[in-house]
Amino acid sequence: MRTFGKKPAGARLERMQDSPLWTGEKFRNLHPIPEGLRDPAIGMPSIRDFIFGGERRVPSAPFPVLNPLELWRKKSSSGLRATWLGHSTVLIEIDGFRVLTDPVWGPRASPSRLAGPKRFQSAPVALKHMPPIDLVVISHDHYDHLDYPTIRQMAHLNIPFVTSLGVGAHLEAFGVPASRITELDWWETYTLPNADLSVTAAPSQHFSGRGLGDRNQTLWSSMVIKSARHAVFFSGDTGLTTQYEEIRQRLGPFDLIMLEVGAFHPAWGDIHLGPENAATAHALLGGGAFLPVHWGTFNLALHAWDYPAETIHAIAQKQNLQLVMPRLGEAIEPTLTDKVETWWRDVETSPVLRPPQTEEPALPATMPWPLD
């Protein structure tokens, strides 16, 4: 199946094998798992649990959506602006450059069009309406982060891709020319040619794989995006790791920290943060504006769809965190934002409940993109 991608081989595999994270047959997490991240009394969810378990895992109405097209045509006043487009997909505008993280527009986080987790909320902007992108960052190869139909659509565009070691094999299989792919080991940096924009791969605590027999055959990373004036941290997928202290020391401070808060379960607390551990990770990274990602799009766990939002909002109030929680498609400048509107609480309280949105919202024709 083409959506599985391709296993690394040749010079790519040789470079992977030179990594200190390579054990001889696969990649590994560098640090031991901290105590208490996985609850031994709670077993792994079964397939039956995923099919029948949990309550309110999908909202009964679509999210409010803002159209950012007109705002995107104007320069941000601070030089840093972020637009959450669902799950871990964020358009970061940083000192005149546009960086897109883990772009996912496909209907399922799955190798199949007919089965697997289906998105309950469409992206606020169709992929064809997106402005010109300077750089795409892909943290790892899981289906909710490396999306075959999205990459196929983007493959013909002259956009460089930066990703973790080995993931380039999938990108090439999906049609991206090798000349536009850069694969990084942890602490390696890519600099956009003739530009003051860089991406550094940094540690995370996770795993990889798209099919049977390829677990941990590619690397997973967090990513740090830097320009002349700003720095952004993007967690990808991860459990809590003390390596965040080293990331802060080597690459911080950060103006914006994007951490995963959704798709959490106590049985896999070592590979996903969840809201509580995300708050701890935020502190280890040195603080700054905190944009929660990895929620509100796919039904990937057993908790209620709004559990991540409600929990991190409550934690932020207690700990006085600088939380940033924009609506879908709401372009915000995190260094200028100081108030959180709890918009998700209104999703299921409207007088008429509608089935979750499955089609792209109607948008105007493609707009010209010179900055005003």
pLDDT score at 45? 77
167-225: per-residue pLDDT in tens? 999 999 999 999 999 999 999 999 999 999 999 999 999 999 998 889 999 999 999 99
**353 in a domain, yes or no?**
no
Query: Is the residue at 294 inside a domain?
Result: yes
Cα–Cα distance measured from residue 106 to residue 108, given in angstroms and rounded to the nearest whole number: 6
Q: What is the CATH number of the domain that holds 304?
A: 3.60.15.10
End-to-end CA distance of the chain: 45
- Residue 115 resides in a domain: yes
Is 208 in contact with 218 (CB distance < 8 Å)?
yes
- In this predicted structure, what is the pLDDT of residue 234? 98
With respect to residue 33, please indicate whether it lies within any of the assigned structural domains: no
What is the tally of structural domains in the chain?
Answer: 1
**Nearest alpha-carbon partner for 170 in 189, 148, 186:** 148
Is 153 within the bounds of a domain?
yes
Successive 10-residue mean pLDDT values, the chain, 372 residues: 93 97 94 73 75 84 95 94 98 98 96 90 96 98 97 96 98 98 98 96 96 93 98 97 96 98 88 95 97 96 94 96 96 90 89 41 37 31
Residue 95 domain flag: yes
